[in-house]
Amino acid sequence: MLKAKIAVLVSGGGTNLQALLDSQGSVLNAGEIALVISNNADAYALERAKNAGVKTAVVSKKACASQEEFEDKISALLTENKIDLIVLAGFMCILSERFTSRYPKRILNVHPSLIPSFCGKGFYGLHVHEAALEYGVKVTGATVHFVNEIPDGGEIILQKAVDICPDDTPESLQKRVMQEAEWKILPAATELVSASILLEGKE
C-alpha cells in the first residue's frame, strides 16, 4: 500500500515521536515515519528512532553559519528522502517563513494548550503549563496545527481538552496533557493529513 512519507523533527526525549511510532499500523496507516531529524546529537529521540529501525540525521544549528544554511540542510534531507509530510514533535528551533512557505499545509506541530490560549513566542515546555495554572483556567489541553510563519499561528487540525486538578503542578499537568491529549491527537492528525496527501496524489 502506498503511504505518505513522514519526517519527524525532534530536539529532546522524543515522547511524542514514540507515540507516533507506536501508532503505526493502528491509528497511523496512510503514512509511515521514514526519517527523524534532530538539531541535537544527544537527543534520546534519535535512540527511539533507531530502535524502531527509522533512518536518523542530525543537523546542528550551532554548526551552521546562518539560519538559511540550517534550514537548507534540513530541506536537502527532506528532498533526498522524498518526504511528503513534516511533523514537529518537540522541535525547539523556530523555522523561518522562508522554510515554512516551501511546505504549505505539509508541516504539523503539537502545542500543549488549547490554542489560542497560552501560545506564541515564549510559550513552550513547562512555561505553557505554568501560565495555565497561574491564570487559573479549569481546562487546558493540546492542539495539533499546521505550521506557518507565525509561531502557533497556523490552521488548527485537532484539539483535545484536559481538566486541571486542584493539586496540579506544572510537571503533573504537563505529564497528563501529554498522556491524555498530545499522544492521542498527534497520531490522529498525522493520519488525517497523510490520508489527504494520498488523495491529492490520486487526483
Helix, strand, coil percentages, rounded to 5, for the chain: 40, 25, 40
Catalytic residue selected from 111, 127, 129, 145: 111
Q: Tell me: the pLDDT tens digits for 80-115? A: 999 999 999 999 998 999 999 999 999 999 999 999
Label residue 122 by pLDDT band (50, 70, 90). Answer: confident
- Count up the domains in the chain and report the number: 1
For residue 136, CA distances in Å to 52, 67, 165 come to 40, 38, 11
In angstroms, rounded to a whole number, what is the distance separating the alpha carbons of residues 201 and 167? Answer: 49
Q: What is the CATH classification number for the domain harbouring 57?
A: 3.40.50.170
**Cβ neighbours for 9, distance < 8 A, ≥ 6 positions apart:** 36, 37, 38, 39, 74, 86, 87, 88, 89, 91
CA atoms within 13 A on the CB side of 101: 4
Provide the pLDDT for residue 203. 60
Nearest CA among 123, 176, 130, 131 for reference residue 150 = 123
CB-CB contact of 31 with 112 (8 Å):
no
In angstroms, rounded to a whole number, what is the distance separating the alpha carbons of residues 93 and 39? Answer: 8
Is 127 tagged catalytic? no
Nearest CA among 73, 68, 79 for reference residue 106 = 79
Domain carrying residue 53? 4-202
Provide the pLDDT for residue 94. 87
Label residue 1 by pLDDT band (50, 70, 90). Answer: confident
Provide the pLDDT for residue 142. 98
Label residue 123 by pLDDT band (50, 70, 90). Answer: very high
Q: Tell me: the pLDDT tens digits for 165-201? A: 999 999 999 999 999 999 999 999 999 999 999 998 7
Residues 57-80: what's their mean pLDDT? 96
**Cβ neighbours for 75, distance < 8 A, ≥ 6 positions apart:** 99, 102
- The model's pTM is 0.95
pLDDT of residue 3 exceeding 80: yes
